Amino acid sequence: MFFSTLSKGKLIKIINELLEKCERLEKENERLKKQEEEHFESVNILNMITENASDLIAILDLKGNRLYNSASYNSIFSDKNKLFGTNSFREIHPEDQEKIKNVFAETVSTGIGQRAEFRFLLPDGSVRYIESVGDLIRNKFGQPEKVIVVSRDMTERKKIEQKLSDQEKKYRNLLESTKDSIFVVNRNLEIEYINKQLEETKGLPRDYVLGKHQNVLFPVESSEYEKFTKEIEETFRKGSENKFLSKNLLDNKDEWKDTRIVPVVNDEGSIESVMGIARNISNLVNDEKFLSDTKNKFRDLVEKNNGIIYCLNEFGIFDYVSPSTLNILGYSHTELIGMPISDIVHPDDLEKLETTLSKIRTGNESTFNGRFLKKSKDYIDMELSGQCSSNESDKEIYGIITNVSAQKEYNNLIKNYCQELEEINKNKDKFFSILAHDLKNPFNSILGFSEYLAKYANDLTHEQIKEYSLNMYQASKKVYQLIENLLSWSRLQSGKIEFEKTQINLKKLVDQIIHLSLIIADSKEIKLVSTIKEDLICTADENMISTVLRNLISNSLKFTGANGTIVISSEIRNNNIIISVTDTGVGISSSKLKTMFNADIQSTSDGTNHEKGTGLGLLICKELIERNGGDIWAVSKEGQGSKFTFSLPFNN
């Protein structure tokens, strides 16, 4: 009805107005859409920047709680996500928390960004030095809403600053502790620094001197002052180092001073001051004649020395050889100069020579003993020693080559004598050890029976006395035989006799030793058992094998407790006779088992009845078995007994 009342013209006008409004709305929608896309792109760019920035970027609420942490936080806290929602003051060092809380509060209250330095205290106890700046984020109404904090890890810079500070202290201490007099003056020749030595030399307090003209230190009336001042001015003008030799400019002691004047350059490369370093060289100047005399004496020493004084360049070529080489090698010193040292060293010794020279070139002490070629084509034993030049650019080696032929022969002779004497002493020690070790048991038998006879002779029957006397006789006879065997063995060790191989009935030999050991076995109620076959025969030195068996059985008796058992057994294995002495004793620890046949590591232990030993019995057994072409070994475990075994070659 409304539209029916309107004229056609008005209706068209309304429609046109509506179309214009629709067009404006469409354009506004496109503008807003484009603005939204641009905003989205800006947000993405901002996120990409913050996530890839090396600085630490965080957004906090007004209470300091974390709303956002950039990826760079992972470099310090390993997982930035664990920080989300936590209070940012928690990671700050306790000593810095109060300061940072105040800075944060000031940023929030004033809206002005604040800069601060503090420390992060990490979970592992380490500390990171941080520099940060914070700024306030406001909402669309201008009200404070958040705080953005950009931080930078300054730990490495702090370390560098500390290192620089330490170096500055070190250099300052060096300047203060040196015996040289040191000063610094600016372009106006005003004194900026003097060290302790110069302060003491002039007798003027440092505070009085600093800032004053240099003539406070260096008297104008000195004849050397004008030249000294010109040297300083030339250093300022040309930037070059100058030297100045004076006698009484720094003091009145009539002493020579060598002063180096060097430019001090600032960061821009400009010379802002010069430093003077004065050293007392009076002794050097006064000793010039002494040095000249010493040089002449040294020349005489070089030319008349019994050794060859030499100098090799970095390629091993003689740059200098003393004239004494003519008497030793037959070459004149001019013949050797320019010749490689390798040309006069035996080919088989060249590798050792090069190793020695390499060590000397690296500053290590080393000597070379080798054969040098004489001009007559004979070789002579010589020793080369030397040291490397302090000049790192040339690597020259200088030293002396000494004739050691006679000394080498003498040393070899002494070495042989020492070895023979050492062997004789070892044999002597072993002889006395065997004597003490193997005589003990028979004498125990003799003493035991004789004591019993002495105490109870009146109570014994004739038959009992006869039995005990017979046992004493047999024990004495065994002692005599043992002494005979030991004397023969000692002569064998000294090389005076050859040991004698015979056919040995091992059953009979073992039974004899068991019989000799029965008294000790009975006293400890130990059962001695032999399972060796009647017809088991071996070829060896009977005296030596007897000594080995006595030692092994004696050791088993020593370390086996009451009611124990000792079994002597045999077998044929790989064309060898294997003899074993097995006991139920206390056993041996694994550490002792490894060293019991070692001549360098010997120890002894008391037996179950506190019996004493020499600690050398097994070592003697080893040598005797090896002399007979066999081997000896042991297996044992603590608390489970031991088994000592030796082998002998088997002859059918």
- Residues 352-410 pLDDT 10s: 999 998 888 888 888 999 999 999 999 988 888 888 877 766 678 888 888 887 777 77
Please give the single-letter amino acid code of residue 562. A
DSSP state for residue 307 in the 8-state scheme: S
Bridge-based pairing state of the strands 242-246 and 257-265: antiparallel
Estimate to the nearest angstrom the gap between the alpha carbon of 83 and the chain centroid.
Answer: 44
Cα gap 629→626, rounded to integer Å: 5
**pLDDT the model gives residue 327:** 85
State which residues of the chain have pLDDT below 70: 1-8, 11, 32-53, 247-255, 283-306, 392-394, 424, 427-439, 441, 474, 477-478, 480-498, 598-617, 651-652
Helices 617-627 and 542-559, packing angle to 10 deg:
150
Cα gap 65→649, rounded to integer Å: 91
Q: Which of 572, 590, 570 is nearest to 642 (CA)?
A: 590
CA dihedral 423, 425, 430, 435 (to 10 degrees): 140
Cα gap 77→83, rounded to integer Å: 8
Cα gap 167→173, rounded to integer Å: 10
Q: Which two tokens stand for residue 401?
A: 């080559």
Q: Which two tokens stand for residue 31?
A: 């503008």
Q: Which residues of 300-339 are buried (b: 16+ CB within 10 A; e: fewer)?
A: eebeeeebbbbbbbeebbbeebbebbbebbebebeebbee
Q: Which of 2, 161, 153 is nearest to 72 (CA)?
A: 153
Instruction: Give yes or no for a contact between 365 and 351, defined as CB atoms under 8 angstroms apart.
Output: no
Reported residue count of the chain is 652
Q: How many CB atoms within 10 Å of residue 372? A: 24
Cα gap 89→60, rounded to integer Å: 11
* DSSP labels, 546-590: HHHHHHHHHHHHHH--TT-EEEEEEEEETTEEEEEEEE-S----H
The pTM for the full model equals 0.33
Q: Which two tokens stand for residue 591?
A: 């550490």
Q: Which of 305, 332, 336, 328 is nearest to 399 (CA)?
A: 305
Q: Which residues of 485-497 are buried (b: 16+ CB within 10 A; e: fewer)?
A: bbebbbebbeeee
**pLDDT the model gives residue 612:** 44
Sheet holding 576-583, edge to edge: 527-530, 565-573, 576-583, 642-649, 631-636
Instruction: Give yes or no for a contact between 192 and 186, defined as CB atoms under 8 angstroms apart.
Output: yes
- Residues 147-185 pLDDT 10s: 888 888 888 888 888 888 888 788 788 778 888 888 898
Cα gap 600→147, rounded to integer Å: 79
**pLDDT the model gives residue 240:** 83
